[in-house]
Structure 1
Amino acid sequence: MAVIKAVSSKAGIGQAIDYVTKEEKTEEKLVSGLHCEAETAKEEMQATKELWEKTGGRTYKHFVQSYHKDEKITPEQAHRNALQLAENTPAWKGFEVLVATHKDKDHIHTHFIVNSVNFEDGHKLQWSSADLRELKERCNAQSQEQGLHVPEKGKTFEGAEREETVAWSKDTYQLLKQAEQGKVKSYVQDIALAVLDCKEIATSRETFIRLMNERGYGVDWQDSHKYITYTDLAREQAGEKACKIRNNKLEKYYNMGFGKEELEHEFERNARTAEVRAGKSERTAPRTEPTEPDRAGEQPAEGSLSFVERELRGIDEAVKSRTSKGRAEQAERRRTEQAAHQRAEEERRAVRERQRTASERHISRNWEPER
């Protein structure tokens, strides 16, 4: 019997990786990297963030797959199962994932640390409740195929109600647990998650507000007000008084930045990344060469008119010269940028190929199929 949980934590990605890769927690170092080397996962994930200028905000996603203590399964098999799940999770395509299996407790369990930034195109990880549900369904199907037990929907190993979210921080854990039990209004947690998701893709205040509106949340963001007020529009329309919350309250509950400054910094980073991904096409687009005025049939005049004609011709030639030079410079810049882009792409392909080969070699060397 196996269950999968999403883990919420205030710990940094480096601390999370250090924790799950401790030698005393892993059986024969059952640690593997998907799209990265297990030994250098921390450095590779950080390099990806710096490459796409997305070092802030949510830095990773953490999941745990756990087996019941009485389940007849070896650590090696549990690790292979976890790798199979990771490799076939659509939302993790293009993301570095560290997979570490532990046997330091009375049950075997595997940690997944998923980088929040895609190494292929730089977009932030989008993870929904539907994605988690699909992952759990594949976990159950995997258990059925191997003749293992499948937990009752919504239940833990012992038959109690399953908690969908856990956290390393005791305070955060209690707050999230209270929300799940209804002691804290659930709309507060829904708004917090919506803000975290929308700020990772928005490039401006206007875009952020639009994205929040599309999710059903109003955003009162005024320069004359110190705080941002978020509103659950459905609850407001239903006449519910408890439907609004300020960003400072969210910060108190979750110990994260939900204020104007934090959001605007994230928007700036997203905008810079969008500019890089667009290849700065607007600045490198060739300009249209002005055409020479059509003066067919124009008869040269005497005196001042012939002088004007000569001046016009001189201006035309100067324009042609500057335009030709400008186009040559643009063409050279484009060639330089294309060559640099090609070299970078070749380097990324080489890195990915080395990672894939090393990962396959590492797995085949340490985990032979059970006979």
Structure 2
Amino acid sequence: MAVIKAVSSKAGIGQALDYVTKEEKTEDKLVSGLHCEPDTVKDEMQATKELWGKTGGRTYKHFVQSYHEDEHITPEQAHRNAVELAKNTEAWKGHEVLIATHIDRGHIHSHFIVNSVNYENGHKLQWSKADLQNLKDRCNEQSRQQGLHVPEKGKTFSGEEREETVAWNKETYNLLKQAEKGEVKSYVQDIALSVMDCRETVRSREDFIKQMNERGYGVDWQDSHKYITFTDLDRQSQGEKQCKVRNNKLEKYYAVDFGKESLEHGFEINARREAERTATTERARQQLDRTAVAENSGADERARARQLLDRTAVAEDSRTGKAYQPDNTAVTEERLSNLRSYQPSRGMESQGRPGTDQGKRPGTETTGRTTEPQKDLAEERLASLRSHKPSRGMEEPSREIGDTDTETLIREARAGIDSSRTREENSGADRANREAERSRQRAEAQRRAEEAKREAEARQAQRRARSRSYGIER
């Protein structure tokens, strides 16, 4: 596994060149120059600066390519890899570069010292984060092609999980670690915690800015700006200069994605979750409403059934001449049951068992014919029912139930009785048919048994005859 790092050093270019070319750290074969000679590199770089009159400012850039101590690679191969990376780095075209591979430590690593002045045009080295990332990507691809390990994001050089707090500046790192332990107060940490809290609930950029303002932090989020700037309003009001921090700094310090796209993506997720919760709540409410409507509908159905029961009881009372009692449910249901058990047949002729008690209601018998007095009594009661005028207490229900309703109830009762009688007759016929079928099957089984017995006796007689003819039987 190889990693690329940019080294920040306050040493001069001469000291840097002397350090990377020390004999105890490297060998002659592991030192190379790009656009320069290793033996005269110090003079050549200084001459280029003097030639273009740029001896001040930053005089060089320093980079290191390091391999893990467990990586199976030789110093020669590591040096060849470093030279190849230097040759293919576009930003280093026209700049003297010294490459030296060190083998004095537990891991092999190569140093790059790049002159800050271009010997072709005198321009200073323009080096960006994109250039550094490109160099790292080419280093990783080189390791893949050679079957070497590639570093993983979020892990250290040794493969361990990286700490949450990271800073390039040592003072900043120490300050953040102290704030993490609660030893000092850091507005940077407070802003980072507030951003992480707000991003979990807000559903839009406007809502995010509003909640951050309520916490005492200003947010400068503009589409024309690359980064988001957070401001501690209290520190700003007190005149302190250190009161602002950008989202990219928070990302570096805490290894958390605070980018614009990441935040807006989180806002969209929160909005969808809220919409789903709202829809679920609305569906539950509608279901409750439907359940309530169904219960009300059931209550209406029960009320209509109760009214029908009352009307039926009124019809029965009209026939018998009794007073209607709407509040007495047991009496009403008893009268309805009596009406349903009434069994008149064609022409009010009822079947009854001969010799039954003449005091019973006509039509309650199950067999036989009714006598003439019973028939006259049934017709007389029907005529009385049709011509009956209810008493004063029954006037209101009687107006709801006319002669037509009464005759309808009676016809329904007749139809039910006739249907029941037909089913009983059909059931009796079916029983007779089943009994006849069983008798036939028993007779057939008995016949087959007798035939089998006769055949067995015949075969036995044949065997005895054959035995006598051969003299076997004694």
Q: Higher strand proportion, which one?
A: 1
Q: Higher helix proportion, which one?
A: 2
